[in-house]
Amino acid sequence: MNEYDYIIVGSGIAGLYDALLAQELGSVLILTKGSIDECNTKHAQGGIAAAISNADSPELHFQDTIDAGAGLCDPEAVRILTEEAADRIADLVKYGVPFDTVNGEIALTMEAAHSVARILHAGGDATGEHIETTLSRAARSARKITIREHCLATDILVRDGSVYGVAAIDLHTGSVEEFGCRFLILATGGVGQLFKTTTNPDIATGDGVALAYRAGAEIVDIEFIQFHPTALYLPGAPRFLISEAVRGEGGILRNSRGERFMLSYTEIGDLSARDIVARSVHAEMKKTGTDHVYLDVTKLQPRVIANRFPHIYKFCLDHGLDITTSMIPVAPAAHYIMGGVRTNYWGETNINGLFASGEVACTGVHGANRLASNSLLEVLVFSKRIVERTKGGGGNTYESAGDEVHSLGSREPGSVSVPPLTLNSLQSLLWDNVGIERSGNGLEKAVTILAAWERNLQPSVDRPSYELANMVVVGRLMAEAALIREESRGAHFRSDFPKPSDAWLKHVVFRKAS
């Protein structure tokens, strides 16, 4: 077994930033199931939120984050996020991330649910790509970082409650190897591919959550999935993300009749929090009998659109749509998961030596609904804290929060018809029953079918079969959690329990039965 001080699973910003920090303390192995450049982060258009202007403060950023989280944010985690933000931005500047500037100072823009302009961006709407490229270049040239591409982690190796390594399959040869480590950091990203309609790339199959659950880690808030309200809806084109920053710059949502409609759902209008906008768009589509609405930026100057949103402008133009003169057809799509592998303020899990960073982790920052552009910041702040924690050499400081802990028990199909398991059938089941609008009946159907699929899973032999098995486990966790939470809060909406309840100011936690 090849031994490393740190093994990092995933090569997005979380994995790369962790690797660059950890190399100062020991040997590092990055395992990634695709190429190092194949990740979710590079699709992040909006930017990074940080209180770095004289008109802003960590306290103001803290309050905006708490407000967006609908009562489930961990205040201490949010305090850490907002107070350490400026230092982590400085780190990116040192690495050479080319943030956009105006008159020699970093440019800041507005996004929905932020009270002031505090969003940093690079290359207009190419922020994630610029950060990913900068850190990837640094990692490739680092002497103490080993990168194994096309190598899929299949099992976390645990002995006596502590991690001692990871098993992985070489996707070129099919051989399974084991790698030993002192510290294992999951940085595998999100779960968007569980849904029929998503802004996420093919790699976002929830692998890290499934790995952690099978190893005995706690999974929390997995029912809270953010559906982005504005994904491009063009026949023949991918569901390309139309950044929330477009509305921040003055974009207006209109229905199929060209009418502005958001003010009829909320007094804040187009700049409401994402969950509100996504549900409003969903409701307007049902009301008008259409499968999309429009985002109108035609009142903006063409040069402003081309300079501020070059990727969006070019992508739409390449698909025959000039957004400077025509409205953009959009519809909601699965985008970001607020829950995941439960961690403390140092990225530790309930398994000694196992850490989680980025979208796969649940730090408590996002609560029931992520504030726009806090995700990249969360990666930087808590990745830094993970590596700082490993310096200490002491025992695990993770403490269970005292929430009721659930496990996935057996379920009988009863009268429910169970279709054959395919990627398409899984994605359709989750989209229809665990999507923007949920109900008890739909969730019962989903968990029953998912349990049947899980019970009959065949041994995995390649990337598609491993991913599909992981997606079944994560999908069931998500559906079971949504069924347990009998209220509506943040991104979780139940038509049979349409109001929030103080009785649910708590977390739904899962851990595999021992």
Residue type, 48: I
Measured between alpha carbons, how far apart are the two ends of the chain, in Å? 27
* Residue of 88, 118, 274, 370 marked catalytic: 274
Residue type, 338: M
Burial of 156-193, coded b for 16+ CB within 10 Å and e otherwise, reads bbbeeeebbbbbbbebeeeeebebbbbbbbbbbbbbbb
Residue 137 annotated as catalytic: no
Written as one string, the DSSP assignment of 185-248 is EE-----GGGSSSBSS-TT-S-HHHHHHHHHT--EESTT-EEEEEEEE--TTS---B--HHHHH
Contacts of 436 (CB under 8 A, 6+ apart): 227, 278, 279, 282, 332, 493
Residue 152: count of CB within 10 angstroms of its CB: 22
Written as one string, the DSSP assignment of 373-391 is T-HHHHHHHHHHHHHHHHH
| Residue 304 in tokens | 């402003």
Beta strands (DSSP E) in 255-378 are 293-296, 328-337, 340-342, 354-356, 361-362
Q: How far apart, in whole angstroms, are the C-alpha atoms of residue 249 and residue 263? A: 17
Known catalytic residues are 274
